[in-house]
Amino acid sequence: MEDCFETLISSYLDTKVGIVADFVSEELAQHLIDRLFALKEQNLLKAAGIGNVAKLTHNAEIRSDEIYWLERNNNNEFENQFLDQMDAYVSYLNRSCYTGITGYEFHFALFDKGSFYRKHLDQFKDNSSRQFSMITYLNQNWQPEDGGELCIYDDEKVQKVAPTNRKTVFFKSDELVHEVLETNKARLSVTGWLRRD
């Protein structure tokens, strides 16, 4: 597991956008996909909001995904396995880079066909707790024509990341503007932020 942590961190240090192709195991990815579809079936996904909790607004012209927060007290084996892996990652990151991360928050996200998320920064203007953004994709057999790329803007450079199964992306939440291009089929992920409170 530490090899993939190291790949994520060293690519982040080299290019500001850390990427590793296989952050979660195939088994865990499959269980998380099943969990997300089960939540959808049970109508437990909610329209994602914009901004901080106190002034959360919903605006489908900015983002049109649906989310569900991973929580230990959901008592779901596979959410917990994912969170265990995050605990290990945070401890590795804090040990190797002195990042002082004190917590995290993660949600499942489902972008249905035709959904997108326009350009934004992840850190809120009125709360700087979010330090790093981290997204793990859960899309088997994703093809270029499926769209849904994550586009990350850094000055003149634009990096397009295809949301392929088991890939994780890691970047600073206050630094890089990014967007999700319209997806041509259902696009699944676990998205979250490492916090310093």
Ligand X SMILES: O=C(O)CCC(=O)C(=O)O
Binds 150: which of ligand X, Fe ion, none (CB < 5-8 Å by kind): ligand X
Q: Considering the complex, what minimum distance in angstroms separates the CB of residue 166 from ligand X? A: 14
- 122 lies in the binding site for Fe ion (CB under 5 A): yes
Per-residue contact flags (x/-) with ligand X for residues 60 to 99, judged by CB under 6 A: ----------------------------------------
Lay out the sheet containing 150-154: strands in order across: 117-120, 177-180, 150-154, 157-161
Compare residues 9 and 17 and give the one whose CB is closer to ligand X: 17
Tokens of 100: 């002082």
Angle, nearest 10°, between helix axes 2-15 and 77-97? Answer: 60
Largest Cα separation within the chain, whole Å, is 45
135 binds, among Fe ion, ligand X, none (CB under 5 to 8 A by kind): ligand X
- Report the DSSP pairing between strands 150-154 and 157-161: antiparallel
Binding site for ligand X (CB under 6 A): 109, 117, 122, 135, 150, 178, 180, 189, 191
